[in-house]
Amino acid sequence: IWELEKNVYVVELDWHPDTPGEKVVLTCDTPEEDGITWTSEQSSEVLGSGKTLTILVKEFEDAGHYTCRRGGEVLSQMLLLLHKNEDGIWSTDILKKKEPENKNLVTCEAKNYSGRFTCWWLTAISTDVNFSVKSHRGSSDPQGVTCGEATLSAERVKIEQREYKKYSVQCQEDN
């Protein structure tokens, strides 16, 4: 498990039927110890109590938002994302190539050298889209990039009888 950004974690899984899954320990961001309950967006039932919750992540259904509460007050929320490794290949199923010969899953383009550029990608998934970019020109010259919110285009792309949504984001190179 690794942190993509604050309160967003990626669980990397080997994907085959006898995989035991990945044990993940979530910690509530509070000094309190008592009266804490955990829920997820997948289930309205209480998953556990206490400052930490240990879950077994094996399927995409195990991903999503997890919330710790005390009484009715939300103390903290975490988002778990899954990245699967199937036969030694890390999946990019969430993104789709527009053409078989085109290897780019995310395409970025600038109209000039102003530092502004637009990136876009295709996906069949329409919820919880999160886009984060960081670039650098060698280890001695780090350069940041700031991007706005990803937006869903009205354009739909059909590939192999399946319709995909197009998302795009405007970015600016930090000076």
88 DSSP β-pair partners? none
Identify which has the larger pLDDT, 56 or 127: 56
* 82 and 96 assigned to the same domain: no
Task: Name the domain count of the chain.
Answer: 2
* 67 and 97 assigned to the same domain: no
Which residues touch 166 (CB under 8 Å, ≥6 apart)?
A: 120, 121, 122, 152, 153, 155, 156, 157
Pair 85, 15: CB distance under 8 Å: yes
User: How many Cβ atoms from other residues are within 10 Å of residue 73's Cβ?
Assistant: 8
* 96 and 169 assigned to the same domain: yes
Residue 39 to residue 66: CA distance in whole angstroms: 6
Give per-residue pLDDT as tens, 11-40. 888 776 677 888 999 999 999 889 999 999
Provide DSSP, 102-158. Answer: ---SSEEE-SSSSSEEEEEEEES--SS------EESSTTSEE-EEE---EEEEEEEE
Q: Record the tokens describing residue 147, joined without a space.
A: 């991007």
Domain that holds residue 157: 92-173
Give per-residue pLDDT as tens, 35-59. 999 999 877 789 999 999 999 988 8
* 73 and 97 assigned to the same domain: no
* 120 and 77 assigned to the same domain: no
* 79 and 101 assigned to the same domain: no
For the entire predicted model, the pTM comes to 0.55
Give per-residue pLDDT as tens, 72-110. 899 999 998 888 776 666 665 555 555 555 455 778 888
Domain boundary among 86, 104, 121: 86
Query: Would the pLDDT of 66 be above 90?
Result: yes
What pLDDT was estimated at residue 135? 55
* 99 and 169 assigned to the same domain: yes
* 122 and 168 assigned to the same domain: yes
Which residues touch 27 (CB under 8 Å, ≥6 apart)?
A: 51, 52
Pairing between β-strand 8-14 and β-strand 73-86 as defined by DSSP bridges: parallel
